[in-house]
Amino acid sequence: MIETGKQKHVKVIGIGNSGVKIASRLYGLEMAGRLNITALDTDGLSLEQSSLPNDKKLLLDGGWRKGKGCGGDVLKGQRSMARERGGIEKLLDGASLLILTGGLGGGTATGGAPAFAGVAKKMEIPTIFVMTMPFSLEGHSKRKIAEDGIRELLPVVDVLLCLPNDLLFSTLPADTLVTDAFKNADLEVARAILGVSELVSVGNLLPADLADLSSVLNQKKSVCSIGVGVAASSDGLNRCHLALERMLDSPLLGGVTKLKEADAVFLSLTGGPDLSIGDTKKTFDAAIKFIGNETKVIIGANTDQTYSDMVQVTAITVNFDKQEKKPGVSKSDSFLAETRVVDWKSDEKSVSSTGFEQGELPLQNISRGIFLNTTQVAYDGEDLDIPTFQRRMVIVDKGE
Partner 1 sequence: MFQQRDIVTAIEIGTSKICVLVGESTQDGKISVIGHGEAPSVNTVVKGEIADMDTALEQLTSAIEAADASSGREISNSNIIAVAVTGSSIQAYQGTGTVFVNSEDHRITESEMNEALQNAQVKPLPFGQTIINTFDSYYLLDGNRRVRNPFDQTADKLEAFIHVIHGDTNRIENFRSIMRDAGFEHEITPVFSGIASVYGILTDEEKEHGVLLVDMGAGTCEYMAVFNMGILASGVLPIGFEHVANDLSLGLDLHISVCRKMLIDGTIARHVQERQGFLELRTSAGNLRKIPLSSFEKIIDLRLREVFQIIHKNISDQGIFRNLSSGGVLTGGAALFPRTAEIFKSVFEFPVRVGQPFDASGAVTGLENPRYSTVWGVLKFGEELNRIINSRRKRGMVGAFIDGFDGLADLVWRTLSNLKHSITI
Binding region for partner 1 (CB under 8 A): 78-79, 82-86, 89, 115, 122, 328-329, 367-371, 374-375, 377, 379, 384-385, 387-390, 392, 394, 396-400
- Give the distance from CA 301 to its chain's centroid: 22
Nearer to partner 1, 296 or 392 (CB): 392
- Judge contact between 8 and 202, C-beta under 8 A: yes
The b-or-e profile of 102-118 (16+ CB within 10 A means b, else e) is: bbbbbbbbbbbbbbbbb
Q: Of 252, 235, 241, 334, whose CA–CA distance to 279 is shortest? A: 241
Q: How far is the CB of 366 from partner 1 (least distance, A)?
A: 9
The residue (of 173 and 369) whose beta carbon lies closer to partner 1 is 369
- Closest contact distance (angstroms) between CB of 109 and partner 1 is 16
In the complex with partner 1, the residue whose CB is nearer, 100 or 115, is 115
Contacts of 392 (CB under 8 A, 6+ apart): none
Q: Which is nearer to partner 1, 261 or 385 (CB)?
A: 385
Single-letter residue type at 32: A
Residue 79 or 142: the one with the smaller Cβ distance to partner 1 is 79
> Which CB sits closer to partner 1, 81 or 194?
81
Helices (H) and strands (E) in the chain, counts: 16, 12
**Pairwise CA distance, residues 187 & 230, whole Å:** 13
In the complex, minimum distance from the CB of residue 201 to partner 1, in angstroms, rounded to a whole number: 28
Query: Considering beta carbons, is residue 351 or 377 the nearer one to partner 1?
Result: 377
Residue 380 CB, shortest distance to partner 1, in Å, is 8
In the complex, least distance from residue 400 CB atom to partner 1, rounded to whole angstroms: 6
Q: What is the 3-state secondary structure (H, E, C) of 31-61?
A: HHHHCEEEEEECEHHHHHHCCCCHHHEEECC
Burial of residue 393 (CB within 10 Å: 0-12, 13-18, 19+) is exposed
Shortest distance, CB of residue 397 to partner 1, whole angstroms?
5
- 78/127 with CB nearer partner 1: 78
Tell me how far, at minimum, the Cβ of 82 lies from partner 1, in Å.
4
Phi then psi for residue 178, to 5 deg, are -60, -45
User: CA-CA distance, 135 to 393, in Å (whole number)?
Assistant: 26
User: Shortest gap between Cβ of 351 and partner 1 (angstroms)?
Assistant: 30
Rg over alpha carbons for the chain, rounded to the nearest Å, is 22
Give me the least distance between CB of 64 and partner 1, in Å please: 11
Distance separating alpha carbons of residues 284 and 280, to the nearest angstrom: 6
CB-based contact 57:38 (threshold 8 Å)? yes
Taking alpha carbons only, the member of 269, 268, 243, 247 closest to residue 258 is 247
For partner 1, the closer of residues 351 and 396 by Cβ is 396
* Phi, psi torsion values for 39, nearest 5 degrees: -115, 140
